Amino acid sequence: MAMDVDALVDRRRLRRKVTFWRVATFLVAALVLIGGLVYFAGAANMSKRSAHIARIPIEGMILENRKTLEMLEKIGKSDAVKGVIVSINSPGGSTTGGEAIYNALRKLSEKKPIVAEMRTIGTSAGYLIAMSADHIVARYNTITGSIGVLFQFGNFEKLLETVGVSMEAVKSAPLKAEPDFYSPATPEAKAMLQAMVTDSYNWFVDILAERRDLDKSKALELADGRVLLGQRALQEKLVDAIGGEETAVSWLETEKGVAKDLPVITWTTTESIEELPFASRVSREIGKGFGLAVLEPLNEAKGLISRDLMLDGLVSVWQAPVAADKKP
């Protein structure tokens, strides 16, 4: 009987020890999770509440993006943002996409000092966006320029003939749905497209002349589609200084009175996790881990389709988009 009592006492002690370690393990796991949330979500985003310089990345193919425009409006309303760096690494994209961002940045410049920093490449619509700033910085070997507008279309008439397919159309007018892909473009259709491209090109050149303080003749000379390295662009007054982000920050401090040593914080269109309730932060981070495991193969598959094939309308792009796909 005494042995049974001793065994019962030992069992209760063991149970208490196991319970203690279970609770301790749970608390440690909870602290690690909370610490991870603070590190990944809190530290960077909380700094947006204090004085800083906003970095706006413009990377890859430029398209009209409503979230980007909303973000620029939000930056304009933020008292914590003391200056803005538009960090460009893009060959261009849709002309309307560049126009929308250019106009939004010009509006933002009424509230915040803006400087543009072009990295590996800043051409066509990418350079258009750079001109929204009051100061443009580029590296010596930054590729820029390619000022102009492009409208491309294909013709598959020979291919359709090869496979025995013919196309016919009934139109309300000769220029309706021109050009098509199954017959050669008529002179009238080409003239229509040329007029459209010329109108857009003249608009681009006028912005160049105004924003870079160039004579119209000089602006037209530089807007012949040529690309230039940063150093030559400096000589042609397309940029204002050679350097990187530190040069852009220095200009904000010396010319616009922005306080020294402010942190430079990247603003993106992704949701700010700090604005979510704590429970949502936890579920978001856990869900993201599972989601990445499932969706990553699908993201890889998206790369099989070139973004060049998905651009509609007038295009302001230099034909080397892969150069801007590599982010620093």
* Gap between the Cα atoms of 315 and 307, Å rounded: 13
What's the rounded Cα separation, in Å, for the pair 126 and 320? 13
Distances (CA, A) of 275 to 77, 79, 124, 271: 17, 18, 36, 8
* Tokens 């309300």 belong to residue: 172
Task: State how far the Cα of 150 lies from the Cα of 223, in Å rounded to an integer.
Answer: 13
Q: How far is CA 189 from the centre of its chain?
A: 34
Burial class, 298, CB count within 10 angstroms (exposed 0-12 / middle 13-18 / buried 19+): exposed
Told to judge if 250 belongs to the known catalytic residues of this protein, a careful annotator would answer no
Structure tokens at 153: 């279309």
Candidates 176, 216, 288, 326; catalytic one:
176
Identify which of 132, 151, 131, 148 has the alpha carbon closest to the alpha carbon of residue 223. 148
DSSP string, 256-285: H-PPTTPPEEE--SSPPGGGS-HHHHHHHH
Residue 78 designated active-site: no
Burial class (CB in 10 A: 0-12, 13-18, 19+), 136: buried
Residue of 93, 97, 134 whose CA lies nearest to 115: 134
Distance in angstroms (rounded) separating the CA atoms of residues 13 and 259: 63
Q: What is the DSSP code (8-state) at residue 127?
A: H
Burial code (b: 16+ CB inside 10 Å, e: under 16) for 100-121 equals bbbebbeebeeebbbbbbbbbb
Given 124, 132, 146, 316, the catalytic residue: 124
Catalytically active residues are 124, 176
